[in-house]
Amino acid sequence: DTAVSQTPKYLVTQMGNDKSIKCEQNLGHDTMYWYKQDSKKFLKIMFSYNNKELIINETVPNRFSPKSPDKAHLNLHINSLELGDSAVYFCASSHHAPTGDRGTYGYTFGSGTRLTVV
């Protein structure tokens, strides 16, 4: 079973279009995230949701909007796509706080969606 799954894996679209990327996690995590990875591999956080509340909203264009129908899903909607939006987008999930023994914890990432805007 895939822990964090996102679809589609590849997305090629024209400038100006609106598109969505879906993400689902079956780990029982209470926080989900969207990251953008550019061509230099830099990971930039875009959003996170904890119990349906947006808790991080970095300075991303308002053309990007996260939508979380429930704790296991966090979809990313992008309006009026631009060439600069081309990147790999990763969904991730985690517990908001460490487990009781403060053991090893971290984000579990999906396999990514490569978005190409032409």
Nearest to 37 by CA among 82, 74, 81, 92: 92
In this complex, which beta carbon is closest to another protein, that of residue 63 or of residue 96?
A: 96
Site residues, another protein (CB under 8 A): 4, 33, 40-43, 45, 48, 56, 90, 92, 96-98, 102, 104-112
Q: Please, what is the minimum distance in Å from the beta carbon of residue 34 to another protein?
A: 12
3-class DSSP assignment, residue 84:
helix
Q: Please, what is the minimum distance in Å from the beta carbon of residue 90 to another protein?
A: 5
* Helix (H), strand (E) counts: the chain: 0, 11
Q: Please, what is the minimum distance in Å from the beta carbon of residue 31 to another protein?
A: 9
In this complex, which beta carbon is closest to another protein, that of residue 60 or of residue 79?
A: 60
**What is the signed CA dihedral for 51, 65, 92, 54, rounded to 10 degrees?**
-30
In this complex, which beta carbon is closest to another protein, that of residue 15 or of residue 53?
A: 53
Question: What is the C-alpha to C-alpha distance for residues 58 and 112, in angstroms, rounded to an integer?
Answer: 20
Q: Which two tokens stand for residue 71?
A: 């704790």
Q: Please, what is the minimum distance in Å from the beta carbon of residue 16 to another protein?
A: 28
